[in-house]
């Protein structure tokens, strides 16, 4: 062992090497939804294997603890928008994957533990969106047919304009209701996943950022920001929006998303989730408050970043939406703001593939990781079962 004298680095003691990091079979990078589901699956497949998750943040700080908790598989205008760029079969199969992913998440954790609520989701249309709304109506019957066996409903999507006045929104002309959408408490879901992983003896170490690795014939050596060298037999990269830092050749771009939460709103008149402008904006109620996010489309270049933070441009657009569309004429205080980092690309399908003999990747979850993250993590894990 050589002592490392670089500032802020320190060597592992013999004891640490001989316990925490000895004989690791698989290291998973990232403790978001994908990394934790992968670790759980690895232990289910090989209970005796040593599985370690390395997480650079004090918490799993990327997207999984910072999202809106909408258990959605696609609003009609979002699916239609996707179908303008990709074959419709591909769009439908991804929506189906999202729905199946949600079932998997619910099956794994149970609805109660993550406060799953089947309140449905509405898509809002302004008068200026008449063309988009008409196009959604045109495809509604065929999408309902496609999804009927999946959701068990003949009319997954339906027009519910009569509800507009009940919610008290201003300037909305039409509403399309997705009956099969739900919502969760994101923090509780992540705590339950962490507990599940730990109960299977997955070791999770926070504050460990992997900077690079070297792959040898029988091992992968990982190097961390502290200057540690750790070894394992196989590795899964589940760092989503941060993936390009380690693997710049992957088609994954970071995409920041900004979110606000209000103080409790007296007499709040809805409990469902809402999508607006092809899903670029979204809001829901939680504990009598409004959680509202999105607006990345206003500054796509500026929001292509993996640095956390909020900006006046997007904060102002969300405040405007809150005061003029959602709660017109009602005074409401904003309690706080945060941001999260998604991983996106030119197409929406996640990247789940073998990268080399001993390394696999499961990244690029876009804005749908709550829905599809369980399946993506499990598939990533299954790619490593022969290493």
Ligand X SMILES: Cc1cc2nc3c(=O)[nH]c(=O)nc-3n(C[C@H](O)[C@H](O)[C@H](O)COP(=O)(O)OP(=O)(O)OC[C@H]3O[C@@H](n4cnc5c(N)ncnc54)[C@H](O)[C@@H]3O)c2cc1C
Neighbours of 3 (CB within 10 A): 8
Cβ 363 vs Cβ 351: under 8 Å: yes
Which of 77, 231, 234, 257 is in the footprint of ligand X by CB under 6 A? Answer: 257
Q: What's the closest the beta carbon of residue 259 comes to ligand X, in angstroms?
A: 5
What is the SS3 assignment for 308? coil
d(C-alpha 30, C-alpha 50), whole Å: 16
Dihedral sign, Cα of residue 193, residue 196, residue 198, residue 203: negative
For 15, the enclosing helix (H) or strand (E) is helix 14-18
Q: Which two tokens stand for residue 149?
A: 């066996």
CB nearer to ligand X: give 67 or 156: 67
- Binding to ligand X by CB under 6 A, coded x per residue (else -) over 261-300, reads --------------------------------x-------
Chain positions 320 to 359 lying near ligand X, rule: CB under 6 A, are 340, 342
CB nearer to ligand X: give 52 or 268: 52
CB nearer to ligand X: give 175 or 361: 361
Neighbouring C-alpha atoms within 13 Å toward the C-beta of 242: 21
Which of 12, 39, 40, 63 is in the footprint of ligand X by CB under 6 A? Answer: 63
Asked whether position 69 contacts ligand X by CB under 6 A, the answer is: yes
Q: What's the closest the beta carbon of residue 329 comes to ligand X, in angstroms?
A: 28
Q: What's the closest the beta carbon of residue 340 comes to ligand X, in angstroms?
A: 3
Q: Contacts for 245-249 with beta carbons within 8 Å, 24 or more apart?
A: 245/306, 246/29, 246/210, 246/212, 247/355, 247/361
Chain positions 231 to 250 lying near ligand X, rule: CB under 6 A, are 238-242, 246
The span of 40-48, 317-325, 368-376, 378-386 binding ligand X (CB under 6 A) equals: 368-376
Q: What's the closest the beta carbon of residue 376 comes to ligand X, in angstroms?
A: 7
User: Phi and psi for 290 in degrees, rounded to 5?
Assistant: -110, 130
Q: What's the closest the beta carbon of residue 165 comes to ligand X, in angstroms?
A: 26
DSSP β-ladder status, 273-276 and 281-286: antiparallel
Question: Could you list the residues that contact ligand X (CB under 6 A)?
Answer: 29-35, 54-57, 60-64, 66-70, 72, 209-210, 238-242, 246, 257, 259, 293, 340, 342, 365, 367-371, 373
């Amino acid at each position: 062992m050589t002592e490392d004298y670089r500032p802020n680095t320190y060597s592992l003691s013999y004891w640490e090497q001989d316990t925490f990091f000895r004989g690791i079979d698989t290291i998973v990078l990232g403790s978001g939804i994908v990394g934790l589901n992968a670790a759980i699956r690895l232990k289910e497949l090989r209970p005796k294997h040593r599985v370690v998750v390395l997480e650079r943040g004090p918490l799993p700080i990327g997207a999984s603890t910072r999202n809106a908790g909408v258990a959605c598989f696609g609003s009609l205008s979002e699916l239609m928008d996707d179908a303008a760029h990709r074959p419709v079969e591909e769009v439908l199969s991804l929506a189906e994957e999202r729905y199946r992913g949600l079932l998997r998440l619910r099956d794994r954790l149970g609805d109660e533990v993550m406060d799953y609520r089947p309140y449905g989701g509405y898509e809002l249309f302004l008068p200026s969106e008449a063309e988009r709304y008409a196009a959604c109506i045109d495809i509604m019957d065929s999408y309902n047919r496609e999804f009927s066996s999946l959701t068990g409903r003949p009319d997954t999507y339906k027009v519910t304009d009569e509800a507009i006045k009940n919610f008290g929104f201003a300037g909305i002309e039409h509403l399309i209701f997705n009956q099969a959408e739900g919502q969760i408490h994101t923090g509780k879901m992540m705590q339950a996943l962490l507990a599940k992983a730990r109960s299977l003896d997955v070791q999770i170490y926070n504050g460990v950022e992997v900077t690079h690795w070297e792959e040898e014939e029988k091992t992968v050596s990982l190097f961390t920001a502290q200057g540690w060298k750790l070894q394992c037999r196989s590795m899964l990269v589940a760092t989503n929006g941060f993936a390009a830092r380690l693997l710049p050749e992957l088609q994954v771009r970071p995409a920041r998303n900004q979110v606000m939460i209000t103080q409790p709103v007296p007499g709040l008149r809805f409990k469902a989730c809402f999508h607006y402008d092809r899903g670029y904006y979204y809001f829901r109620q939680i504990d009598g408050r409004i959680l509202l996010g999105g607006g990345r489309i206003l500054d796509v270049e500026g929001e292509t970043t993996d640095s956390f933070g909020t900006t006046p441009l997007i904060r102002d657009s969300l405040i405007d939406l809150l005061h003029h569309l959602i709660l017109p004429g009602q005074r409401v205080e904003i309690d706080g703001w945060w941001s999260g980092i998604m991983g996106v690309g030119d197409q929406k399908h996640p990247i789940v593939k073998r990268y080399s003999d001993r390394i696999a990747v499961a990244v690029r979850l876009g804005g749908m990781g709550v829905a599809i993250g369980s399946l993506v993590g499990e598939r990533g894990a299954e790619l490593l079962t022969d290493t």
